[in-house]
Structure 1
Amino acid sequence: MKLPAAAAALAAILICAPAYAQNNPDEPKIDCAKAEAQTDLNICAALDFDTADKALNAQYKKTRAAMVAIDSDLDDDLKGAEKALIKAQRAWVDYRDGECEAQGFQARGGSMEPMLVSGCKADLTKKRTKELKDLADGPEGDQ
């Protein structure tokens, strides 16, 4: 098997492992607060990212609705809040994925790489979720 194909196969296993491990009733549940084995740490980091990503997607929908509401109050020549959000979010996803790929190079090819990448994605995603909430709440949201 060529190296790229092997890497793709390994990536598929690592991506699917968290879902399998948490959804298979025959497998013991992982206590992420006490995880020590690298495989468990990788799974927990992937689960953390999955949770953060779901929260981000829910907040994005709310923020997008807020931007649509802003646009609805503006004259046609001033509209663009929703379009700006979509543009920003696409750029942010590219940034997050690239930044976290770079972070993974600290352990490139090692068993710790998936944890580093997932952990990075979880951290950046949680920060972005807060940014989106702040944007939806507007300047009065902090008062």
Structure 2
Amino acid sequence: MKITTLMVAVSSLWAAMPALAQDAPDVDCENAETQMEMNFCAEQDFDKADAALNKAYKRAMASQKKADADVEETMGANSVGAVAALKKAQRAWIDYRDGHCEGVGFQARGGTMEPMLMMGCKAELSTARAKELNELAQGMGN
């Protein structure tokens, strides 16, 4: 009885999936005209910047792990901390980015432009942070 109920629920959900999935609008972000298009494009910009940020963070984390391993080998376990420092900095940076960009959004609080302002801010700051993280990774010889 329970398996049958589960099968019915899963098949119902599977059948509803196309209705749940929303196709991305066909928007030319180089020529966006409506606020909805501009908001969509700002979100796309942020998604790209966030993906680059995550990639840069992984590179920086790998370099910091290597730095910790090198330091531990030469100076002992009490001298490591590069990974912890990066994690601490990244958490603080995310809080800063999100808070700062929320503040930027207040320029159009409650308006249709607010999401565009916030996403644009997050994309800009994420791009800058990705550059910093890539420089950190390169500085560690990676």
TM-score interval for Structure 1 and Structure 2 normalised by the shorter chain: 0.7 to 0.9
Q: What does residue 89 of structure 1 align with? A: 90
Q: What does residue 39 of structure 1 align with? A: 36
Over 3 Å counting, the alpha-carbon distance change for 1:117 and 1:93 in structure 2 is same
The structure with the largest alpha-carbon Rg is 2
Q: Distance in 2 between matches of 1:21 and 1:81?
A: 43
Mapped pair 1:67 → 2:76? no
Q: Which runs of 5+ in 1 are unaligned?
A: 1-18
Mapped pair 1:138 → 2:131? no
Q: Which has the higher contact order (CA 8 A, sep 6+)?
A: 2
TM-score normalised by structure 1 residue count: 0.78
Q: Distance in 2 between matches of 1:96 and 1:77?
A: 32
Mapped pair 1:115 → 2:116? yes
Q: Distance in 2 between matches of 1:117 and 1:21?
A: 23
What percentage of residue pairs aligned between the two structures are identical?
53
Number of residue pairs matched by the alignment: 118
Q: Which runs of 5+ in 2 are unaligned?
A: 1-20
Instruction: For residues 33-58 of structure 1, give each alpha carbon's deviation from its aligned partner in whole angstroms, at most 9, with x where no partner exists.
Output: 00010000000000100111011111
**What is the root-mean-square deviation of aligned Cα atoms in Å?**
1.6
Mapped pair 1:54 → 2:51? yes
